[in-house]
Amino acid sequence: MDVGYNLVERTKIGKEFEEIEEKISIVEFLRKLQKQEPIPRKISVSGLEEALFEGSAPFIRSILSQSIHIIRTHIIQLPINGELILNEEPKIKYRGKELILSTLFGNRIILRAIGYFHSTPYI
């Protein structure tokens, strides 16, 4: 895992990709960032696909962009319940819907391996 956002299909964690011990929900992660509380340097943040499914990408992007001074050297693993796909652009296939990742990460997100996307912390 590299510094930045590491989106990994949950089925690959513990097999092809390491399992990070420190775990937190996306809601708690965003709360901590808003309050400028310290975040472990290596953390697993669950629930991104559900937040995107609910249409929260602009809100999440705003908080992440404003918090770059806190997380610029962090390794943030985002386990995805769903399938990471790349056709015209990177997406998560979740609950029968394709969630476009560029609404959150812009053009910074790239395919690193099947089931693994990465973005720098600067989105």
List per-residue pLDDT tens for the chain, 123 residues long. Answer: 899 999 999 999 999 999 999 999 999 999 999 999 999 999 999 999 999 999 999 999 999 999 999 999 999 999 999 999 998 899 999 999 999 999 999 999 999 999 999 999 998
* pLDDT on residue 46: 97
Q: Report the predicted TM-score, pTM, of the whole model to 2 decimal places.
A: 0.93
CA neighbor of 105 nearest in space, from 83, 87, 88, 90: 90
Question: How does 47-57 read in b/e, with b if 16+ C-beta sit within 10 Å?
Answer: bbbbbbeeebb
Could you tell me if 11 and 116 are in contact, meaning their C-beta atoms sit under 8 angstroms apart?
A: no
* pLDDT on residue 105: 94
